[in-house]
Amino acid sequence: MINKKFRIINIFVIFIAAITSIGGLLFGYDTGVISGAILFIREDFLLSSAAQEVTVSAVLIGAVIGASISGMLADKYGRRIMIVLASVIFGVGALFSCFSPNVNVLIMSRVVVGIAIGMASFIVPLYIAEVAPINIRGALVSLNQLAITLGIVISYIVDLYFAPNGSWRWMLGLAVIPSLILGLGMLFMPPSPRWLISKGFESKAFTVLKKLGA
């Protein structure tokens, strides 16, 4: 009976980590997809070499912003809520990138995506670490890095699929799908017990810990 309960709890925690790691997948996808899309963006918008460089690197500007504010926001509002917010930002950035009428809008959209990347890079592994039991914590946190790598691979496959038609808007816009999955999935995930305790919600924290098998 104890072993069966332990397996059920571990599956639940693994499911939480898997859903949360979609943030890492989006990190990898949005970082890698531009490598194929820029070839066609350059032709559509007649970009100079300098404009191409700015378009590609704009995501890094946003990532610096997102990473610098994510810790403060996660402490104030909670890890789960901030991952939901990051998913919304991922989705908005993907949609604006897809429908950009000119390069200026595209660059700003990539900055928005970068903000979400910076937030996810900090909060996703933090949340996983705080909900995972100590015996599998390292393995579950490593799912985030695996998801980043998987996202890069998927972005290259998507680029290859749409390359014959030069459909760079589809390349960038498809990121909205995992964004929706992440956002909706996180709405059903428990808050971090460590964050609950830090805010004085001890009873809620103990309830979450029981669900997690701690």
Per-residue pLDDT of the chain (214 residues; tens, 9 = 90+): 445 555 555 788 999 999 999 999 999 999 999 999 999 999 999 999 999 999 999 999 999 999 999 999 999 999 999 999 999 999 999 999 999 999 999 999 999 999 999 999 999 999 999 999 888 899 999 999 999 999 999 999 999 999 999 999 999 999 999 999 999 999 999 999 999 999 999 999 999 988 887 6
Residue in this structure with the two tokens 């015996």, named with its chain if needed: 135
Residues 195/79, Cβ–Cβ less than 8 Å: yes
Domain boundaries, the chain: 15-209
Q: Which residues of 147-163 are buried (b: 16+ CB within 10 A; e: fewer)?
A: bbebbbebbeebbeebe
- The structure tokens 């590609």 sit at 56
DSSP secondary structure code for residue 201 in this structure: -
Taken in order 63, 71, 9, 145, is the CA torsion positive or negative? positive
Q: Which among 211, 186, 52 is positioned nearest to 119, based on CA atoms?
A: 186
Give CA–CA dist 82/59, Å, rounded: 19
Residues with Cβ within 8 Å of 176's Cβ and at least 6 positions away in sequence, in order, are 90, 91, 94, 95, 98
- Token pair belonging to 164: 């014959």
What is the identity of the amino acid at 87? S
Per the CB < 8 A criterion, the answer to whether 112 and 96 are in contact is yes
The reported pTM is 0.92
Q: Domain 15-209 adopts which CATH fold?
A: Growth Hormone; Chain: A; (1.20.1250)
